[in-house]
Amino acid sequence: MKRKSEYFQGCLIGGAIGDALGWPVEFMRYSQIKGKYGKEGIHDLVISSSGKAEITDDTQMTIFTAEGILRADSVLNNQQICDEALSVYYSYQRWLITQGYTKVKEYEHIYDGWLLNKVELNARRAPGNTCLSALSSKKQGSINNPINNSKGCGGIMRVAPVGLYYEKEKAFVMGAEFAAITHGHPSGYLSAGAFAFLIASLIEGNEIELAINETIAELINYDNHKECSDILVKALELAKSNVSDEEAISELGEGWVGEEALGISVYFSLKYSNDFEKGLIASVNHDGDSDSTGSITRNILGAYLGLGKIPMKWMESVELKDVLLRLANELLNKSSN
């Protein structure tokens, strides 16, 4: 079991870099990306006027997921009863404030913590409408009491810390439950559970293909798994075939919904399992949700390859690097893996 800081750090920093690389082309078709950045597409981070490569809501919500987990851990360590999903829900409410929403009187007791003092988090970078509407409704969705029927990728994109903190089976359950706070369709939360399980399996030291097969075996135990399990099987087959990346993406979708984002990310993670840079560039150059597929793919490869395999120029350039490293270390110190 590898459980070392470099893999925890690689997972969170890698995800942020993938998010930042994909952000400038998130809403562009592949032909438009090549027209603007050349035939190889976008291949380097775009540095903003702040001197950093900007992250989006994907990384912002990943950060707040980690915060919610760590706050719950503190309560549990004091031998108090704690609703972990409620802790993460409150953390998402703090994220909502950073997006320009007003504080809710009933939640006055939750608006604290060091993250709210991070100016960089108070940036609105195309947050998902489902996350905004669900959280602003003041209703906490769950698997048993879904708040909507959305399966957008806003549920999966944020749960990498779940796989770092919990052991595999618990990671699946909690990843799905945390996603269901805002996304009520089974493919919206099961894709998140599968992603969290996959991260936990990699943190145990498993090879990527074994971790994916383990994930499929766990996934099929759940009702309504077929969309997610089918696309994982297809992603495995495509990664081992001779089809081009463009052809593979045309079969897997564009990543705007949970199971497609999972399938695309698994495909690129397996195909480029030993090359962080090449895999990252490939994972954002397509028609779909480039920042989310880039982020999820790099969460996976970061957990597998570790921080040392990430190009230093990218790590130093990405926004909120210090916050991500701090959270990665805290998750390692408190994790049950």
290 versus 15: which is more confidently predicted?
Answer: 15
Which amino acid is it at 263?
G
Q: How confident is the model at residue 288 (pLDDT cuts 50, 70, 90)?
A: confident
167 has pLDDT over 70: yes
57 annotated binding-site participant: yes
Average pLDDT for 196-216:
97
76 has pLDDT over 90: no
Where does residue 146 rank: exposed (0-12), middle (13-18), buried (19+ CB within 10 A)? Answer: middle
Average pLDDT for 255-282:
92
Q: How confident is the model at residue 110 (pLDDT cuts 50, 70, 90)?
A: very high
Domains, the chain, in order of start with CATH, read 5-334 (1.10.4080.10)
Q: How confident is the model at residue 337 (pLDDT cuts 50, 70, 90)?
A: very low
336 has pLDDT over 60: no
Asked whether 109 and 58 are in contact (CB, 8 A), the reply is: no
Question: Rounded CA gap, 69 and 235, in Å?
Answer: 30
- DSSP, collapsed to helix, strand or coil, labels residue 146 as coil
What's residue 2's pLDDT? 61
Tokens 């893996």 locate to 337
What's residue 1's pLDDT? 54
pLDDT tens-digit profile of 46-61?
999 999 999 999 999 9
Which of the residue ranges 26-30, 55-59, 321-325 would you say has the lowest mean pLDDT? 26-30
291 annotated binding-site participant: yes
Average pLDDT for 88-102:
97
Average pLDDT for 175-202:
98
What's residue 80's pLDDT? 72
Asked whether 302 and 268 are in contact (CB, 8 A), the reply is: no
3 has pLDDT over 70: no
Give the bridge partners for 53, in sequence order: 47, 318
Asked whether 318 and 55 are in contact (CB, 8 A), the reply is: yes
Average pLDDT for 196-213:
97
245 annotated binding-site participant: no
58 annotated binding-site participant: yes
DSSP secondary structure of 26-88: TT--HHHHHHHH-TT---SPPB-TTSSBPP-HHHHHHHHHHHHHHHHHHHHHTT----HHHHH
Average pLDDT for 21-29:
91
223 annotated binding-site participant: no
pTM of the model: 0.96
83 annotated binding-site participant: no
Mean pLDDT of the chain: 94
Q: How confident is the model at residue 182 (pLDDT cuts 50, 70, 90)?
A: very high
Average pLDDT for 56-83:
90
Give the bridge partners for 318, in sequence order: 53
Average pLDDT for 4-10:
94
